[in-house]
Each structure stands twice: as C-alpha cells, then as structure tokens.
Structure 1
C-alpha cells in the first residue's frame, strides 16, 4: 500500500488504534476522515487537527452507516481506502440468558458495520488509485478468551470474512488487508471495567501503529502483530493457558 496521497476513512477514529492511525496518516500527508459516536471528541480532534474531516456516526444503525459513506464521498470524492477499526469488547455469561441488547450492539459494531460499510464503498473504490480495505481483527480471532465470547467470535468472523472479501475483490484492484493486534494499551473494553478510566494494557499504540504501517507498506495482506502472532501459530495450547482459571 502506498502510505501517502490517499483519502482514508477510519471508523472509531476518536481514540486508541483509530486515533493513532488517523494521526499517523495525517502526518504522512493523507486526507483523513474519521467517524465516532461522541461529538465532543470529534470537535476536540478537529480543533487539534484542522485538516481532519470528522463525521458523527452511530455504527449500530444502518441509516447512520449509509449517511457516513454518503457524506464522506461528498466531502472527499477521492476516497480510496476504508479502515474498519471500530469495535467494542464486552463480557458474556453463556450459562444464563444473554443480554440481547448488548449482543446486538457488539455484533452490529464489530461485524455488521464493517461488512455493510465495505459493501457501500466498493463502487467508490473501484478504479481509484491503489484502493484498499483494511480490517482490524484481533489475536483473539484465533485464540478466544472464554469470558468475552461474542467479541472473540466477532473477530473470528472478521478474519473469515476478510478472506472471502479478498477473494471476491481480487479482480477489482481493491486490496483487502487484515491486521490482528495483540492486547494494545487503549480504552477498549472500558464498558466492562469498574474503573472507566483504566486502559486495556499491553503494547503501546505507537508501537502497534509502527508495525501495522510496515505491514501495509510491504503489502502483507494478513498480519498478526506481537503476541497475536503466537495466538495464531499456537492457538490450541494458548487457549488452554488463557482459560486455565475460567
């Protein structure tokens, strides 16, 4: 992937990996569009980075996703890259009736939104210079942690869908990348923590971004970064270790 001169739409761009990607791509001279649910965060980032294009969007709602793509293309008609980054991470007790609203929110954000958004931008990307779709999955796609089963399952689905999307789009010129992070020090999962200010722990965002950029620039279409690589290569043994105390 060419890392400069692009027009890039990043979902979940107000914090964590999405924010880090936006900052890095802006620094390389790209036009960057981010979306997020919270308007205050969007305004704060817009004030900090005046060239950043911000769009408020609820990714759990189909109409909001459609408006996001429509507005992004209207404001930035050279859009050539979509980064499906937004995600939420909740716990789930499968021994009791599941919280259906939480299930629907997690699946909508982590799986339905990337699939829907990608389908909406294909015609826009087709024929653009070096078009691409970048899906952020997880090491947990390969080795799940049992106490957050829906998150892990949704990321496993992203991995599978990325393979199919890459195959279907191979004759269109649109490249499909899957980047699987390890645990990265972001606010992911803050909804399930008592201390809402506590971060996720793990690899720093900057270190992850550096590794992700190297993979993209080298046209590595599927990469597991840091400990996520072990979660792919040693999935069965790691599953037992990760869940030994469950």
Structure 2
C-alpha cells in the first residue's frame, strides 16, 4: 500500500488502534476520515488532528452504513482506501451459557459490519487507482482466546472471508489487506495498563512500516507465532496458550 496521497476512511477511528492508524496516516499526508458511534470521541480526535474529518456511523446498522456510504462518495469522490477497524470484545462462557445478546452484537459488529461496509463501497473502489480494502482482525483469528470465544470466532471468520475476497478481486485494482494485531494496550478488555500487551504506539509504528510494503498480511513480530498455528497440532498450542492466559488473569 502506498502511504501518502490517499483518501482514507477508517471505521472505529475514535479510539485505540483505529485512532492510532488514523493519526499515523494523517501525518503522512493522507486525507483521513474517521467514523464511529461516539460523537465525542470523534470530535476529540479531529480537534487533535487539524484537517482530519469524521462521520458518525453505527457499523451494526445497515441503514447507517447505507447513509454513510452515500455521504462518503459524494463528499470525498477521491476516496480510495477503506480500513475496517470497528469491533467489540467481551468475555463470554463457551463452557456454559452464552448470552444471546452478546453473541448477536459481537457477530453483527465484528463480522457482518465490515462485510456490509465493504460491499457497499466496492463498486466505487473498483474505479479508483491504488485502491485498498483493509480489515483489522486479530492474532486471535489464528489462536483463539477461550475466554472470548465469540470474539475470536468472528475474527477467524473474517480472516476466511478476506482470503475469499482477495481471490475474487484479484483481477481488479483493489488490494485486500489483513491487519492482525497481537494483544495491544487499548480499551478492549481494559487492556490499557496490561504489562503483557504491546504498547499502542509501538504497534502502530511497526504496523505502518509493514503496511508500506507489498505484504498482504500486516503482522508485527509478536503476532507471528499465532499466525504460524501448526495445523493438526493446533489444539496443543491453543490449550497451552489458554492455560497460560487463565493463570495470568487469575493472578
């Protein structure tokens, strides 16, 4: 992906990794439009980054996606990069009762939302040079965290969808990318102070460096072990990982 001269739309750009990517790409001379449900967060980011713009979006609402799509194309006809970053992460109980509202909300936001958003914008993006569709998944797409089984499942499903979409768009102008972060210090799961998590600014710096290459998967070093999931031996890796995480969280 080229790192300058784009018009970039980022969902979930009001905080965390979305905000980090937005600010880093804004500093590199791109026109950046962020979106999210919380107007206050969007206004804060725009105020801190003169020249950046924001549009309110509820990624779980098809009507909101349709409205934002029309506004985005009308107001920013040069728009050529979509970064699907919005997502939610909550603990669940795969070993017991799964809260139905939590499950539906997570699947709708993390999986259906980016699929709908991309689908709505593909016809426009096919006309643009240097077009990119990027998705923020997670290292948990490859090795699930049992305490957030539904979240991990949505990221695994999105990874699968990305592979299919990349194949289907192979003869178009659109490059399809997957950004798969490791555990990063954000508001997800109250991870801002987690010592084991990667500092947000360090992740953004390394992710942007990879983003500027020809790579289709944006992986920093901490995520590579997860991406190297050993196929038929994955249960041993998953079980060992989750035993370690449960011990750490309990401590």
Separation in 2 of the partners of 1:152 and 1:240? Answer: 14
Separation in 2 of the partners of 1:7 and 1:169? Answer: 20
Separation in 1 of the partners of 2:3 and 2:95? Answer: 46
Structure 2 residue 102 is the aligned partner of structure 1 residue 107: no
- Asked whether the 8 Å contact 1:186–1:199 carries over to 2, the reply is no
- What displacement does 1:59 show? 1.0
- What displacement does 1:31 show? 0.5
- What displacement does 1:211 show? 1.8
- What displacement does 1:201 show? 5.4
Structure 2 residue 3 is the aligned partner of structure 1 residue 6: no
In structure 2, the partner of 1:240 is 239
Separation in 2 of the partners of 1:144 and 1:97? Answer: 18
In structure 2, the partner of 1:215 is 210
- Asked whether the 8 Å contact 1:35–1:57 carries over to 2, the reply is yes
Separation in 1 of the partners of 2:96 and 2:66? Answer: 35
Separation in 2 of the partners of 1:125 and 1:165? Answer: 14
SS in 2 for 1:175: strand
Which structure shows the higher helix fraction?
A: 2
Once the two structures are superposed, residues 71-110 of structure 1 have per-residue CA deviations (whole angstroms, 9 ceiling, x without a partner) of 2222211110000111111111134332211111111111
| Cα distance change on mapping 1:198 and 1:204 into 2, 3 Å | closer
Separation in 1 of the partners of 2:194 and 2:33? Answer: 25
Structure 2 residue 23 is the aligned partner of structure 1 residue 28: no
- What displacement does 1:54 show? 0.5
TM value normalised by structure 2: 0.90
Once the two structures are superposed, residues 192-219 of structure 1 have per-residue CA deviations (whole angstroms, 9 ceiling, x without a partner) of x9xxx75695111222112222222111
User: Following TM superposition, where does structure 1 have runs of at least 4 consecutive aligned residues deviating by more than 6 angstroms?
Assistant: none
Separation in 1 of the partners of 2:200 and 2:242? Answer: 26
Structure 2: runs of 5 or more not aligned: 247-251
Separation in 2 of the partners of 1:174 and 1:23? Answer: 23
- What displacement does 1:234 show? 4.0
Root mean square deviation of aligned Cα:
1.8
Once the two structures are superposed, residues 38-67 of structure 1 have per-residue CA deviations (whole angstroms, 9 ceiling, x without a partner) of 111112222222311101111111111111
- What displacement does 1:226 show? 2.6
Tell me the number of residue pairs that the alignment of Structure 1 and Structure 2 aligns: 241
SS in 1 for 2:147: coil
Separation in 1 of the partners of 2:183 and 2:92? Answer: 19
Give 1:144-155 correspondences, 5 Å limit.
144-155=144-155
TM value normalised by structure 1: 0.92
User: Structure 1 residues 234-243 or 201-210, which shifts more?
Assistant: 234-243
Separation in 1 of the partners of 2:21 and 2:150? Answer: 25
Match of residue 230, structure 1, among 225, 231, 234 = 225
Match of residue 198, structure 2, among 200, 203, 225 = 203
